[in-house]
Structure 1
Amino acid sequence: MALRLFEETEHAAAYMKYRRENHQEVINRMMDFMKQKVQQKFNLAVDVGCGHGKGTMVLAPFFDQVVGIDVSSAQLKMAEDNSLCPNVTYRQCLAEELPFESRQVDLVTAMMAAHWFDRPRFLTEVDRVLKPNGCLALLGFPMDMELEYGNATSVLNNICEEFYAALRPYINPYLASSLSKIYLEMFESCTYPDKEWNDCLRVNRMVTVNSFIGMVETTIGYRKLKLQDAAEAKHLSDDIRNKLLAAMQVSSAEAELTMVVKYFYMFARKP
């Protein structure tokens, strides 16, 4: 069965604040893939596991209608409260039970969400709702972002690895193996002959030290540690923050640096 997480209001708010990944480069590649067979503007895109809706809104210029789907009412409220696009709407439902007629959808996508789905049921449901030449696009990234800041880059990434290593014992067993491996298995199980896989697309994003710390704090591993020992979780974050600032030789946690996100993605076109 699919796993249900990230549903409480406090976690949804943290996602809205810190999980603002720049999917645009992957979206551009996705649209290039779609336009290989169909040139005109598309009618309907469905973003499954849409969360706070930031990724959903990126699709708005390319489609007449975009629908974000999520199981979490807290996430959907966050998305609706911050919606800026008149052609984007949201619905609460399961990824494996999409509320669309057969052969109606031009694109089904899931951004950093498909690993939580019942994958065989989800792929069957995608095949039902997609039009001929409709596309499935799944993307994600491991939570081992790299940091770059002048000559301090190597030291910063040693500190990052210390952060990640402290959280590994708390990672959900479901994700104990490589996250990209889960998506590669979905890619290989997809029967569509026209498909594309990329296991590492490096995308740079400017963030503050606090934003980087906040993003890691939204992960399941950190939240599990916080539930078990809130003081220890805070001590870990504070220690990592202080070490990053010392390595950068700055005093403010609002200082900016480059965060490198390593995307993987699969595109597949229904015959």
Structure 2
Amino acid sequence: MAFDGLPDRKNNSVAQKDFEGEDIVGVYESIQPEWPDEVRQALADSLNKNESREVRHHFLLDVGCGSGNLTKVLANDFDRVLGIDISESMLKVAEKKVSNPKVKFQLVYDDKLPVESSSTVAVTCGISFHYLNTPVFLAECDRILVEGGVLACFVFGPNILTSLHGTPIANYSAESSRWQHIYREFQINCGMDEVVREIHLTRYEAIFNALTNPTKHWRHIAKRDVKYTIKKMLDYMSSIAGYRNKTFPDPTKDPLNIFREGLIAILREAGLEGSEDTEFVVTFEFSAMIIKKTNKFGIA
């Protein structure tokens, strides 16, 4: 697989700081939408198309499992599950949340995945793939996956804004979208490089397009409506690593304040108030890029 132009995350200490501490865990738990049951079906469909007997190992590795939200949804479909993450704070929450004897969690700092070669039927990432050292991770997936095994990278993003009564406010995917504009402006103001911005803005489609493996396929999974306030949306944006690991002494140049003004303008134009507790609906779209390991084409 060629990943020309995509970042190689070679220093996990930076990412570790971004996801450590009770405060950031609390923010994530309050703002992240729940993974829909359709992610189970997407993974099951990919595995059920296999004719390889090796898939009967039924071992799932969830990489970057965080607080265990995706792990919990997928766990019942496998005989054994291991969730790994670099954040001890996140894993403490995961262990409390997922009370399933088949599921274990492990703190991992190394790029090497802590499982034996040819032992895993599925590797999953829930909106964590872009934090990984891409070439090393793919080589490790190639090592641990059985023939016919699957790498499934799930992602979601806030795509459509509507009023509580269903009136359209903004569409992230629309041409000349103001919603996408303030999102992009926020990332630029945070100093994100162009490649990382593209990954975020296209919700992994940039990564998918860079993959050369012929077994890859993109799957739109589900949409979910979640009630948000301006404050909750600001919490969502402030959870982005590119913002959290920087300081902005001048409030007028703080990317979050600039984003707030843009969001308030969009909502007021639609006839809504601009207070912190102004409510609206965010439609999250869930997708996946799925790659199968076959006799002819490895993952690395």
Q: Identify the TM-score tier after normalising by the shorter chain.
A: 0.7 to 0.9
Judge conservation of contact 1:245–1:252 (CA < 8 Å) in 2: no
| Correspondence 1:56-71 to 2 at 5 A | 56-71=71-86
Q: 2:234 aligns with which of 213, 216, 219?
A: 213
Aligned partners of 1:165 and 1:253: how far apart in 2? 24
| Correspondence 1:90-105 to 2 at 5 A | 90-94=105-109, 96-105=111-120
Q: Supply the AA of the counterpart residue of 2:160.
A: E
Aligned partners of 2:219 and 2:110: how far apart in 1? 24
- 1:244, CA displacement in angstroms? 6.2
- 1:41, CA displacement in angstroms? 6.9
- 1:181, CA displacement in angstroms? 1.4
For residue 183 of structure 2, give the secondary structure of its aligned residue in structure 1. helix
Q: Report the counterpart of residue 182 of structure 2 in structure 1.
A: 163
- 2:55 is aligned with 1:30: no
Shifted more, 15-24 versus 61-70: the winner is 15-24
Judge conservation of contact 2:272–2:278 (CA < 8 Å) in 1: no
For residue 182 of structure 1, give the secondary structure of its aligned residue in structure 2. helix
Residues 173-218 of structure 1 show CA distances to partners (whole Å, capped at 9, x for unaligned) of 2503344212332x32x4xx6x241165552232322443322221
User: For this pair of structures, how many residues does the alignment match?
Assistant: 264
- 1:31, CA displacement in angstroms? 0.9
Q: 1:197 aligns with which of 190, 203, 217?
A: 217
TM-score by length of 2: 0.73
For residue 226 of structure 2, give the secondary structure of its aligned residue in structure 1. strand
Q: 2:143 aligns with which of 101, 121, 128?
A: 128
| Correspondence 1:70-109 to 2 at 5 A | 70-94=85-109, 96-109=111-124
Judge conservation of contact 2:162–2:280 (CA < 8 Å) in 1: no
Structure 2: runs of 5+ lacking an equivalent: 1-7, 296-300
Is the helix fraction higher in 1 or 2? 1
Change in 2 beyond 3 A, CA 1:59/1:26:
closer
Change in 2 beyond 3 A, CA 1:202/1:64:
closer
- 1:37, CA displacement in angstroms? 2.1
Aligned partners of 2:71 and 2:271: how far apart in 1? 35
Change in 2 beyond 3 A, CA 1:165/1:77:
same
- 1:164, CA displacement in angstroms? 0.9
TM-score by length of 1: 0.80
Shifted more, 37-46 versus 74-83: the winner is 37-46
- 2:287 is aligned with 1:266: no
Judge conservation of contact 2:72–2:98 (CA < 8 Å) in 1: yes
Structure 1: runs of 5+ lacking an equivalent: none
Q: Supply the AA of the counterpart residue of 2:186.
A: L
Judge conservation of contact 2:159–2:282 (CA < 8 Å) in 1: no
Aligned partners of 1:230 and 1:53: how far apart in 2? 37
Judge conservation of contact 1:115–1:183 (CA < 8 Å) in 2: no
For residue 177 of structure 1, give the secondary structure of its aligned residue in structure 2. helix
- 1:264, CA displacement in angstroms? 4.1
* CA RMSD across the alignment: 3.2
| Correspondence 1:34-49 to 2 at 5 A | 34-37=47-50, 43-49=58-64
Change in 2 beyond 3 A, CA 1:128/1:198:
same
Identity, % of aligned pairs?
A: 22
Change in 2 beyond 3 A, CA 1:23/1:122:
farther
Q: Supply the AA of the counterpart residue of 1:20.
A: P
